[in-house]
Amino acid sequence: MHVHPVLQNGDILPEIFQHLSPERCGSGHSTLARAALVCKAFSDYALNVLWEEYPPLMALVKMLPQSTSNVHSGEDAQAAVTKCSQNEWFHFDVYAERIRKLSVSAKEEIPILRILPFLFSRARDVPLFPSLVSLEFDQFLRRPHEYFILFLSPSLRYFSHSIHDHSLRTVAGEARLDSVLDVLQAKAPFLQNLACYGVTNPTSLPSLTRLKGLQYLDLPRMTVFQVLSYCAELPQLKRLHTALREDLGGTGRIFPSRDFVALQSLSVSGAVSDMTGLLTAISSPNLHSFTVLQFMPQLGFGHVCRGFIQTLVSRFGQSLRHVHLQCDFVFCADPGNHPIFRFVDVARPLLSLRHLELLVLCFYQACATVTYHEFEEMASSWPMLEELTLRFGMMPPPVSGLAAFARHCPKLTRLAMFPMDLAVMPKREPYSVSHHNLRGLTIENLEYTAPEPHQLAHFIDCTFPQLDASQVQINQQGSDWLVFVEERDARRASTQGAL
């Protein structure tokens, strides 16, 4: 069982173990958030670690003076606050000064609106959380506008909010967002990261241009056509995530030409067929990461994808290091007769990217063929590759093709391939690199083939000798998988014994 280091060190009262079962004691922030709700006190070390995570606002309520946390709804907040002595507020002030990250959600068990008046009456014109770096708000437009200011301070660098209720996605709601952006500019002048989930109306976009310090902008439900016009005015913008919605984009749409002097990472969801125009419109000398997530049918997939990749490489090939292309659906008039294309023909422009470090190509339902020699060609083209994921509905290549990456990609740490024919083993001893850095291998076997676990264990152990059995994931269950692990462990033990 993996337990958070704070719990292992015993810095939180043992009372926590009476409330958290072993399966709930994970390593993430949820464990510490639950700890804050059941513990009565914390050591200094535990408290510092706790506030480095994402505690819910209700964890802070545990620190409020008793006369405020137990007050009934409707009572005068200012009166409740004045009842508390300065000593009663001392610990709360100490905790509030230490908080670095905070999450405020409408899903809390105790109504948040009952707590905010006390905090507001206490804070006055002084930032309630003077060291707050990261703030997450969930559906904050439901709350009174003045309470939003409670959580802002000049130290704030990251702000995220989500709107899940469709009734809030209106022009009136966007007007409120405009005012919130104005407050962010005044109260959090050094804000660097802004994420707006659920915002679709572009009326708020002009307000973004006043946040000149923004470096990371996440607008997953906004259309890229409007975003480009305003985000180019952010001189420090390094990462942008947005969408190209089908109803507002469309094949052949002419995008406004914009220069992004600092942009390093661009992520866009939408149709691949529309991306060529987007790539032609923008320029960025430092773009090293490009992601496309397509969640809609696409006609002529092979031809469209090849043209897109060619444009991507010709425009940004000198700086590109990470490429992530995911297409969830590939349209075909006859689902049982998908067109088959050679993968290397579609992805050939990528072979010129000698400095490529990460490549993810997921073409769901697209039938592609990859031969052993094409694996050799790909691996030898990417000597700097660190992570590779290939997923197709393809004619599966033999698992022996993995040896090509052991030979030519010494920096590779993560490798995932779906599917592969694990039943076809190499006829000769596979190439072995004893110092290879691979730390994770995920391969998926065809359902109608059954690999011989002894041979599979021998091949993987020879190809990637430093790879632990726990870091290998194969979609095999039951006795076959146990035999594979046992065979690998036995081989590893015999090798060490011979040394």
Q: Mapping DSSP to helix (H, G, I), strand (E, B) and coil, where does residue 262 land? A: coil
Q: Is the peptide bond before 419 cis (omega within 30 degrees of 0)?
A: yes
Residue 164 lies in a domain: no
Whole-number Å distance between alpha carbons of 437 and 410:
7
Average pLDDT over residues 205-222: 86
Residue 474 lies in a domain: yes
Label residue 391 exposed, middle or buried (CB < 10 Å: 0-12, 13-18, 19+): middle
Residue with tokens 């804070």: 123
- Tens of pLDDT, residue by residue over 50-61, are 556 555 565 566
pLDDT of residue 90: 74
Q: Which residues of 175-205 are buried (b: 16+ CB within 10 A; e: fewer)?
A: ebbeebbeebbebbeebbbbbbebbbbbebb
What is the domain count for the chain? 2
Residue 345 lies in a domain: yes
Residue 261 lies in a domain: yes
205 against 282, higher pLDDT: 282
Q: Which of 107-116, 197-206, 207-216, 294-303 has the highest mean pLDDT?
A: 207-216
The total of other beta-carbon atoms located within 10 Å of residue 24's CB is 10
| Residues 365 and 254 grouped into a single domain | yes
| Residues 424 and 474 grouped into a single domain | yes
Report the amino acid identity of residue 479.
Answer: S
**Which neighbouring-strand residues pair with 361?**
325, 390
Least confident range from 177-186, 283-292, 304-313, 445-454: namely 445-454
| Residues 411 and 290 grouped into a single domain | no
- Tens of pLDDT, residue by residue over 231-269, are 889 999 999 998 876 544 444 566 778 899 999 999 988
pTM of the predicted structure, to 2 decimals: 0.78
Residue 104 lies in a domain: no
CB 202 within 8 A of CB 226: yes
Residue 487 lies in a domain: yes
pLDDT of residue 399: 82
pLDDT tops 80 at residue 280: yes
pLDDT tops 50 at residue 11: no
| Residues 359 and 241 grouped into a single domain | yes
| Residues 348 and 398 grouped into a single domain | no
**What secondary structure letter does DSSP report for 42?**
B
| Residues 295 and 419 grouped into a single domain | no
Range of the domain at 278: 237-369
- Tens of pLDDT, residue by residue over 457-485, are 778 878 887 777 667 777 654 455 566 66
Label residue 384 exposed, middle or buried (CB < 10 Å: 0-12, 13-18, 19+): middle
Q: Which residues of 267-292 are buried (b: 16+ CB within 10 A; e: fewer)?
A: bbbbbbbbbbbbbebbbbeebbbbbb
Residue 401 lies in a domain: yes
- Tens of pLDDT, residue by residue over 406-454, are 889 999 999 998 878 777 676 655 555 556 778 888 887 655 455 677 7
| Residues 429 and 307 grouped into a single domain | no
| Residues 292 and 406 grouped into a single domain | no
Strands (E), 209-270: 216-223, 239-244, 258-259, 265-270
Percentage of the chain beyond pLDDT 70 is 56
18 against 75, higher pLDDT: 75
Query: Nearest 5°: CA angle at 433, between 432 and 436?
Result: 135
The two counts, helices (H) then strands (E), for the chain are 19, 18
Pairing of strands 134-138, 101-104: parallel
Residue 74 lies in a domain: no
- Tens of pLDDT, residue by residue over 223-233, are 667 788 888 89
| Residues 432 and 362 grouped into a single domain | no
